[in-house]
């Protein structure tokens, strides 16, 4: 006998649609999308400060230009003749450890090491030779998105122990070498912990935030560009064997 799917998220009662006990139809037009996302991910309505903080996270992560791997993937997939949903899905699949996918790992690290100290975190990662999730950026010495979220955090009471720990990590990790700034993954990780989210939500929050941007890029590709995208030979550096006899 097949095992039943169990859920505490959504149900139907007497023709009504309820998310964690809130009538979804009644919420429409009376609540923000950010507030509804917070509800369905956390199981409770945010207060005003949490709503502002969460909305700031979603807004600042909505897009970061045409250059990131996710956008390149999405536009290339569409240019090959695939439908919009396949192209957007392809863009989401390109989100990984080095591009928007490190939030969960950063949340786990901050939870584990906040009580034992920054030096222990840096020492442990140095010994293992692995990168500390949530730090470093190829464009920024200081990530402006991080700075804005820090401002919003201070305004709304979320400049707490995890945010402070993340900033201490930034300083310690950058000692004696290239500065590795607290990036969008790292600051979002710290803020989600301040709002008591489970780390498993981390990657999903970035996916939710970035999907509208991917949709916009795919639609622009459809309306402005010709199929099929391909690299020019001048942009390819071949270093294989020469033609054989």
pLDDT for 175 equals 80
* Residues with pLDDT less than 50, the chain: none
Structure tokens at 170: 């930034």
Q: What angle do CA 56, 57, 60 make, to 5 degrees?
A: 80
Q: What is the pLDDT of residue 204?
A: 96
- What does the pLDDT read at residue 98? 84
> Whole-angstrom Cα distance, residue 109 to residue 172?
15
Q: Find out if CATH 1.10.230.10 is the number for domain 46-229.
A: yes
Residue 203 CA to residue 185 CA, distance in Å, equals 9
DSSP state of 242: P
**This prediction's pTM:** 0.92
Judged by DSSP in three states, 16 sits in strand
Q: How far apart are the first and last CA of the chain?
A: 64
Q: Looking at residue 176, what is its pLDDT?
A: 66
Domain ranges in the chain are: 46-229
pLDDT of residue 153: 98
> What pLDDT, on the 0 to 100 scale, is given for residue 127?
87
């Amino acid at each position: 006998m097949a095992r039943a799917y169990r859920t505490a998220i959504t149900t139907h009662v007497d023709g009504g649609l309820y998310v964690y006990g809130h009538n979804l139809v009644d919420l429409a037009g009376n609540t923000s999308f950010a507030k509804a996302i917070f509800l369905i991910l956390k199981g409770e309505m945010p207060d005003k400060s949490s709503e502002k903080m969460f909305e700031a996270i979603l807004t600042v992560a909505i897009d970061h230009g045409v250059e990131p791997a996710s956008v390149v993937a999405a536009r290339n997939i569409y240019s090959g003749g695939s439908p919009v949903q396949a192209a957007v899905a392809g863009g989401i699949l390109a989100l990984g450890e080095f591009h928007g996918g490190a939030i969960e790992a950063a949340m786990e690290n901050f939870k584990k090491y906040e009580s034992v100290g920054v030096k222990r975190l840096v020492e442990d990662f140095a010994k293992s030779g692995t990168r500390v999730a949530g730090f470093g950026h190829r464009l920024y010495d200081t990530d402006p998105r991080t700075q804005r979220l820090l401002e919003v955090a201070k305004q709304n009471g979320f400049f707490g122990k995890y945010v402070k720990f993340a900033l201490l990590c930034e300083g310690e990790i950058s000692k004696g070498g290239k500065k590795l700034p607290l990036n969008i993954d790292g600051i979002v990780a710290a803020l989600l912990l301040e709002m008591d989210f489970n780390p498993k939500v981390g990657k999903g929050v970035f996916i939710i935030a970035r999907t509208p941007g991917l949709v916009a890029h795919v639609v622009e590709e459809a309306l402005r560009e010709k199929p099929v995208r391909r690299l020019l030979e001048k942009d390819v550096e071949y270093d294989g064997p020469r033609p054989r006899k």
